[in-house]
Structure 1
Amino acid sequence: MDIRRRAERTSETASSDYFTGDVTAERLFEAPDPARTAAVRVTFQPGARTAWHTHPLGQTLYIVEGTGLVQRECGDIETVGVGDVVMFAPGEKHWHGASRDSMMTHIAIHERKDGNHVEWLEKVSDDQYEGRG
């Protein structure tokens, strides 16, 4: 058994290479091999979002606070809120973040494949975020 106490974890500012706006991330856990699961609590301030990205084994988001936006490539922007669960398929190109007028926090759960859990792609433009492109 391994207990990770809240006081032992810290939040850090997410990299501007992969996020737009004010985003903080708190790594909750990364299971040791042979397990592959990891979870991160991510808080997006209004208008903040990820870049487009994929996960080799998919990703699940559990919304715990606020109102967010999610979109998969060639799909509509969807609004999500507290208690919603969003599942992206392996390799599905997508982004997620806060709505324009609300912050949003989610727990992101994903698995490693060959040591990798995410492939970062281009940033989401303001036009894409606003549903204009």
Structure 2
Amino acid sequence: MKNFSLDGQKDEIVLFARILLVVLFVLFGWQKLTGFAGTIDYMTHVGAPLPTISAAIAVAAELGGGLLILVGFFTRPLALLLAVYTVATALIGHRYWAMTGMEQYAAMINFYKNISIAGAFLLLAVTGPGRYSIDRK
């Protein structure tokens, strides 16, 4: 059997992966920014420390960090920071172990979604942004 390789398309695939990885962050970061009062209320509801500051951090991380990774600027350090941020949001916002029923199930899905996304950010930190990025210019 012939070896399967995508080496010839590596940079295109890394670009596509960056786009897919940050879609969620950019969309929800924008939503958090445009509905900032609701974001503060949510932070209060989930028990985030200093809800207003937590909301500002969420907007900066999701919208700012997402857009910077999208264009490939400071990709490796931002990918590491977003991996940590994503695990932290899983622990703060999706505490499925303290819930029951369908609420627990939904929170568990979101918790493990965050853990998986953190893994993707770690992989991006190791691989780098690829050729199609500001970092490579």
Same fold (TM over 0.5): no
| Normalised TM-score (structure 1) | 0.24
Please identify which structure carries the higher helix content: 2
Of structures 1 and 2, the larger Rg is shown by: 2
Structure showing the higher strand proportion among its residues: 1
